[in-house]
Amino acid sequence: MVEVLAARHTWCAPSERIRLATPLGARLRFDVAGLDEHGAPRRGWLARTSGAVGGAAGGALLGLVDALSGNDNLSSDPGQVPTTLVTGPGPECLAVSTLSGVDTLAPGDHWFLTSTRLALLSFLPSGTEATGSTSGTPAEADTGLLDRARRFGTGILGNGDPAAPPLRGSLPLATARVELPASRVRSVGVVARKQGGGSSGVPPHYLRVVLDDGSAFELAAPGRTEAAARRMLALASS
C-alpha cells in the first residue's frame, strides 16, 4: 500500500509505528444529535443551543460531504452505506469539531492510527509543496505513482540497489488534515450498522474509534464484513 509507505517516510516520526491505515472513502455521513446525515444543522436545533459551533460546523461539514459524494442523495439507496460515519451527542462533540476545521477532503484520503496519534492524511504528488489549504488530492491522482512504486519496490524490500532513486523523494507527500493524540482515543471496537429502507442481508461492519468525549469515527471494513472489521481491530490493538 503506497499510502503506508508515503506516511512512514514523509510524515511519521522515526519511532512512530503505524497500526492501521484505511481509506476515508466517498461516503462520509453523520449520526450526531442536531445534525442531519450530511452534517447540516437540523431545524430547531440552533434555537435550543448557542449555535456557535453547530452553525459554522454544519456549513463546513455539508461542503465536505457534497465534495466527496458529488452531492448525490446516497441515503435513498440502502446499498450505498457510509465509508466513514461520525457519531456523537451533539455538534460540539470532538469528532465533529475536529472535522469542521477542514476545508476539503478527497476519497483517497486515509485514516491512520499509529502508536502516538489518530490522523486523516491527504497525499500530494511527489514534489508538491504542502500548504495550510491542502487540496486533498488523492494519491491516485498521480498517474505515475503506482508505476514508480513498482520500479523501486525491489529497493523497498532491501535489495540495496545504489542506482535506485531515494525512496522519500519518490513517494507522494503525506500531510495531516485531521490529527489527534492517541491519548484522546478512549477505545476501539467492532460495530454492526443496520441499513435502512427495508434492506436485507448482513449489516455492514465498522471499526469504531471512540474519542474521550464519547464521540467516534466509524471506519468501514473492507467488504463490510465482520471478519474484516475484526482484523482491523487486531491491527489497531497491536
Comparing 144 with 104, which gets the higher pLDDT?
Answer: 104
Comparing 153 with 58, which gets the higher pLDDT?
Answer: 58
Comparing 1 with 205, which gets the higher pLDDT?
Answer: 205
So what's the pLDDT on residue 97? 92
Q: Please tell me which of 105-109, 123-127, 189-193 the model is most confident about, judged by mean pLDDT.
A: 189-193
Comparing 80 with 21, which gets the higher pLDDT?
Answer: 21
SS3 for 128?
A: coil
d(CA 208, CA 41): 23
Comparing 141 with 123, which gets the higher pLDDT?
Answer: 123
Residue type, 148: R
Q: In this structure, is the dihedral angle defined by the CA atoms of residues 188, 83, 3 and 9, taken in order, positive or negative?
A: negative
d(CA 72, CA 60): 17
% residues pLDDT > 90 (the chain)? 45
State pLDDT tens for residues 41-78.
887 655 454 444 444 444 456 555 554 544 333 343 54
State pLDDT tens for residues 184-218.
999 999 999 886 655 556 789 999 999 999 999 99
So what's the pLDDT on residue 230? 97
C-alpha 168: how far from chain center: 23
So what's the pLDDT on residue 77? 53
The pLDDT of 3-25, averaged and rounded, is 95
So what's the pLDDT on residue 43? 75
Residues 203, 89, 85, CA angle at the centre, nearest 5°? 35
Over 50: is that where the pLDDT of 158 sits? no
Question: Taking Cα atoms as reference points, which of 228, 233, 225 lies closest to residue 202?
Answer: 225
Q: Cell triple for residue 167?
A: 525512496
So what's the pLDDT on residue 133? 35
Cα first-last separation, the chain = 19
So what's the pLDDT on residue 102? 84
Confidence bin at 39 (pLDDT 50/70/90): confident
For the ranges 2-16, 66-80, 145-159, 168-182, the lowest mean pLDDT is seen at: 145-159
% residues pLDDT > 70 (the chain)? 64
So what's the pLDDT on residue 1? 79
Q: Pairing state of beta strands 18-23 and 117-124?
A: unpaired
The pLDDT of 122-143, averaged and rounded, is 52
